[in-house]
Structure 1
């Protein structure tokens, strides 16, 4: 599939791996893909991200991801659903952290790196890459550009899509930023992963 990636999309994937290495993560996540996209300049995805104000809200994105990691990677929908049945995730996190230290529930704490030293992609990150192909094909394109990676990140349910939505970047708003207000909004195109 990598042969279908444009030069910019390949740079984004490589940037995600480099980011994972810089932060000491054992695997490449959807979050790393998003940050690598935000670091790209001059692409359609960069234009859409800028139009939605994402680069200007980097500190807010960082804080939202840090909070999600603190919750053990649970989405807001997960914590709301658990709250509906009387489970207070905030209280659980506080108790675990008081016993085991701050960030005790954070994922990716080491020990899973392949013998080669290469960082594997998490199942979620792999799903985003696969879904980017579906989005591209749904738009009639044989090649995967960065814009399809960004759309796939907004379409895959999880923490990254939640954080993006909190910052105004849903599948529909990204689609509008990329293709204009008269675009069909991606209706009927592959968007779930």
Structure 2
């Protein structure tokens, strides 16, 4: 599949590995893919992020992602679901950190793991790459570009999609910024996946 990636998309993948290295993690996550997309300039995805004002709010995105890592990688929707059954995630995080130190629930692959030097992609990050392929096919594109990776990040439920949506970058908004229209409103990647 990697041979179908454009130069920009390959740059995102290698950039994600670099972000993983800089953050000291032993695997590449969806978060690393997003950070690598934010590094790009002069591409369709960077244009969309700039048009939506997301590129100018990198610090806010990074803070939201760090907050999620502190919660063990759980999204706000996960926290709300737990609250619905009487479990306060904030209280749990505080108690765990009291007992085991700050960041004890981090979901970044650092605590208590032996590092091999090889950075594999976590299942969620692999799903983003597959979703990008589905989206490209659904749009009739022959290659997978960074725009397809960005759309995939907004399409797959999880922390990164939630953080992007909180910053105004939903699937529909990104599609509109890149292509000027949204077609029939369907998400071609998810429709094909079902």
| Contact preservation (8 Å) 1:27, 1:113 | no
CA separation of 1:106/1:138 partners in 2, compared to 1, >3 Å: closer, same or farther? same
Could you give the per-residue CA deviations for residues 84-113 of structure 1, whole angstroms, max 9, x where no partner exists? 110000000011111111110002115254
TM-superposed CA distance for 1:76, in Å, is: 0.7
TM-superposed CA distance for 1:62, in Å, is: 1.1
TM-superposed CA distance for 1:185, in Å, is: 5.7
TM-superposed CA distance for 1:23, in Å, is: 1.2
Could you give the per-residue CA deviations for residues 130-171 of structure 1, whole angstroms, max 9, x where no partner exists? 100000000001210000000000011110001001111110
| Contact preservation (8 Å) 1:176, 1:183 | yes
For residues 113 and 80 of structure 1, what CA distance do their matches in structure 2 show?
34
With structure 1 as the length reference, what TM-score do the two structures score? 0.94
Provide the aligned length of Structure 1 versus Structure 2: 190
TM-superposed CA distance for 1:59, in Å, is: 1.1
Between 105-114 and 118-127, report the one with greater CA deviation. Answer: 105-114
| Contact preservation (8 Å) 2:38, 2:58 | no
For residues 115 and 156 of structure 2, what CA distance do their matches in structure 1 show?
25
Between 28-37 and 102-111, report the one with greater CA deviation. Answer: 102-111
Q: Which residue in 2 is equivalent to 1:48?
A: 48
Q: Which residue in 2 is equivalent to 1:25?
A: 25
Root-mean-square deviation over aligned CA pairs: 1.4
Q: Which residue in 1 is equivalent to 2:183?
A: 184
Within a 5 Å distance, the mapping from 1:16-165 to structure 2 comes to 16-107=16-107, 108-110=109-111, 111=113, 113-114=115-116, 117-165=117-165
Could you give the per-residue CA deviations for residues 26-62 of structure 1, whole angstroms, max 9, x where no partner exists? 1000000001011011000000010111121111111
CA separation of 1:137/1:159 partners in 2, compared to 1, >3 Å: closer, same or farther? same
For residues 72 and 5 of structure 2, what CA distance do their matches in structure 1 show?
32
| Contact preservation (8 Å) 2:172, 2:182 | no
Deviation beyond 2 Å, 4+ runs, structure 1? 110-114
With structure 2 as the length reference, what TM-score do the two structures score? 0.94
For residues 39 and 76 of structure 2, what CA distance do their matches in structure 1 show?
26
| Contact preservation (8 Å) 1:5, 1:143 | yes
Gaps of 5+ in 1: none
TM-superposed CA distance for 1:188, in Å, is: 5.1
Gaps of 5+ in 2: none
| Contact preservation (8 Å) 2:34, 2:153 | yes
| Contact preservation (8 Å) 1:175, 1:185 | no
| Contact preservation (8 Å) 1:113, 1:120 | no
